[in-house]
Structure 1
Amino acid sequence: MSSSWTAEVEAKAPAAAIFKAAFLDWHNLGPKLIPQIITGVTLISGDGSPGSIRQINFSPVMPFSFIKERLDFIDHEKLELKTSVVEGGDLGNKIESATSHIKVEPKGNSSNVKVLATYKAIAGVDVAEDIKKAKEVSSIASRQWKSTL
């Protein structure tokens, strides 16, 4: 059974600038914005277009040390992208699949970032605590991100 959770963050910068900085240049910006969560991001394959894979390394605040995610879709005009976890995290241990859909919407001179995370738990595995932890970390990251951008 698939489940999901959402997060929204308002940023005091134009949507196109947020999309470029926070998602297209995430490998440089992520570890600087939220070093207490992300220790590094490496492009594993591709050039940043759909099909590219990057590895995100996490600090001990996370219950796993890394994930590898594939960029499935990107629309530079609509400022949205979709990714899938292809390795790491709880993939294969607790979840069968995990995806994220991110959309940055203009809001005057600022922007609203919407994240939809969808996952499918392995049958019989309770992931309630893991989802709670993911939401807590997302909240920490959102506060830090919002105060920086």
Structure 2
Amino acid sequence: MGLVTFENEFSVAVPPAKLFKVYCLETDTLIPKILPQSIKSSEIIEGNGGPGTIRKLITLLISLAGKGLTYVKQKIETIDEENFAYSFSLIESNVWMEGVEKVIFEHTFVPTPEGGSICKRTSKYYIKDGAEIKEDQIKKDGKKTEGLFKAVEAYFLANPDA
């Protein structure tokens, strides 16, 4: 099995504690509220919200041709509230990249002097023997995550007491 690692950072004008709360601790209630055009629902289907918990997100990302991502299952690997660190594995999806065994996403939220955050994200793609994946697809996934953080930022700027 091969491993492809990709690192990126996102600047967000939201303090790490708020960003960590919405992205890691209250995903099931806040993400569908922040992204109603993309996320229909998010729910814990196994566990108590800590490591080992399995979450299922139902998306609204279907093309006119009826194709696209309709659901994804994540397994929470780690939650470190003190250091604003969080990781999860992508364990199932209706659209799975061929040749990929699993993907682990590790996030750390670091404060900026301006009161916002830098999200440092490492994506680890575990590739099945003999398979290859395109780096363009990994970069595309990173852009989607950046869009999610920008939506969270817009929500908190519009709702500072949330």
The TM-score bracket by the shorter chain reads 0.7 to 0.9
5+ residue gaps, structure 2: 157-162
- Deviation of 1:56 after TM superposition, in Å, equals 1.5
Question: Of 77, 88, 110, which residue of structure 2 is paired with 1:72?
Answer: 77
Matched residue, 1:119: 125
Q: Tell me the number of residue pairs that the alignment of Structure 1 and Structure 2 aligns.
A: 148
- Deviation of 1:101 after TM superposition, in Å, equals 0.3
Q: Is the Cα contact below 8 Å between 1:41 and 1:57 reproduced in 2?
A: yes
- Deviation of 1:131 after TM superposition, in Å, equals 2.4
Aligned mates of 2:60, 2:116 — CA distance in 1: 30
Percent identity, aligned pairs only?
A: 22
Greater alpha carbon shift after TM alignment, 17-26 vs 33-42: 33-42
- Deviation of 1:59 after TM superposition, in Å, equals 2.0
1:102 aligns with 2:112: no
Sort the Cα spacing of 1:134 and 1:13 in 2 relative to 1 into closer, same or farther, 3 A.
closer
Q: Which runs of 4+ in 1 moved over 4 A?
A: none
Aligned mates of 2:133, 2:118 — CA distance in 1: 32
Using structure 2 for the length normalisation, give the TM-score.
Answer: 0.77
Matched residue, 1:134: 141
Matched residue, 1:22: 23
- Deviation of 1:27 after TM superposition, in Å, equals 0.9
Larger Rg: 2
CA RMSD in angstroms comes to 2.3
- Deviation of 1:79 after TM superposition, in Å, equals 0.8
Greater alpha carbon shift after TM alignment, 42-51 vs 103-112: 103-112
